[in-house]
């Protein structure tokens, strides 16, 4: 199957993983997956992610209304191109998680806001710049973790924790200070045994801002989970499977509470 054909079926694969297809369409997708084990493995990962979200947020499996159906939203904005198109793509994938959680949670969660979409965009840009660096990926290395914590806390004017993701196979590389649209930002980098890297991007927000649920975004190969907790907003970014990134984001979130 050509790259264009594979890209054209991706919305159906997402709809299949979300349980949104009727019987004939579901049978067609299952036949495709039987002939494409790589796609089948990816779809299985999406299903595991969905189950992780249900467990994490304890929401029942109810059908999502058409107005909140991400596959319907994606078809509506698909013609977008360029930077606006990339931001639109991020918005669609935010709605995949944000709107669905808002529905399943009985209105407990809201859809992604422009600031959250912008945060994901900033975090992904920073990840692209520094995740491939060999000599200077960070300013302060993991061996100076206490200094890194004190330095970033002072510059962001927040008491920051440096999450430990080793339980999920990613060890601390170090961190750096970066500029953002709203002042200083912290980037903390982690790496697994194969050399894959994820980065945690943190910006300060007003302390009276309400806590938000996880939002998901994807642009190209990069995935991100974004959330706000008390006085900071965070984005965990990486070119890793979505369910794996959700596991890491959940671990980071619990340590930053």
- The answer on 142 and 70 residing in a single domain is no
Please indicate, yes or no, if residue 203 is contained in any of the structural domains: yes
Q: How far apart are CA 173 and CA 170, in angstroms?
A: 9
- Enclosing domain of residue 123: 114-256
Of 104, 128, 159, which one is at a domain's C-terminal end? 104
Please indicate, yes or no, if residue 182 is contained in any of the structural domains: yes
Task: Give pLDDT tens digits for 198-209.
Answer: 999 999 997 665
Of 76, 104, 132, which one is at a domain's C-terminal end? 104
CB neighbourhood size of 130 (10 A): 19
- The answer on 134 and 89 residing in a single domain is no
pLDDT at site 194: 95
Of 46, 76, 104, which one is at a domain's C-terminal end? 104
pLDDT at site 129: 94
What six digits make up the tokens of 114? Answer: 């422009």
Task: Give pLDDT tens digits for 105-144.
Answer: 333 334 456 778 888 889 999 999 999 999 999 999 999 9
Q: Domain tally for the chain?
A: 2
Q: pTM value?
A: 0.62
- The answer on 252 and 158 residing in a single domain is yes
Q: What is the mean pLDDT of residues 176-189?
A: 93
Angle at 168 between CA 237 and CA 190, to 5 degrees: 45
């Amino acid at each position: 199957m050509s790259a264009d054909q594979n890209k054209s079926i991706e919305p159906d694969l997402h709809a299949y993983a979300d349980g949104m297809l009727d019987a004939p369409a579901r049978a067609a997708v299952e036949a495709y997956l039987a002939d494409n084990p790589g796609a089948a493995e990816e779809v299985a990962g999406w299903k595991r992610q969905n189950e992780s979200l249900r467990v994490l947020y304890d929401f029942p499996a109810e059908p999502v209304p058409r107005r909140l159906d991400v596959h319907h939203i994606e078809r509506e904005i698909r013609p977008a191109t360029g930077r606006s198109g990339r931001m639109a793509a991020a918005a669609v994938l935010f709605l995949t998680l944000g709107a669905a959680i808002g529905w399943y949670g009985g209105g407990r969660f809201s859809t992604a806001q422009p600031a959250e979409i912008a945060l994901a965009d900033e975090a992904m840009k920073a990840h692209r710049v520094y995740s491939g660096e060999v000599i200077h990926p960070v300013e302060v290395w993991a061996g100076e973790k206490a200094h890194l914590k004190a330095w970033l806390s002072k510059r962001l004017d927040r008491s920051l924790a440096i999450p430990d993701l080793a339980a999920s196979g990613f060890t601390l590389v170090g961190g750096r200070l970066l500029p953002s649209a709203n002042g200083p930002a912290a980037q903390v980098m982690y790496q697994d045994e194969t050399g894959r890297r994820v980065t945690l991007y943190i910006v300060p927000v007003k302390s009276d801002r309400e806590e938000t649920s996880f939002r998901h975004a994807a642009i190209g190969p990069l995935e991100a989970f974004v959330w706000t907790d008390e006085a900071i907003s965070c984005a965990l970014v990486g070119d890793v499977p979505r369910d794996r990134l959700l596991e890491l984001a959940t671990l980071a979130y619990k340590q930053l509470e």
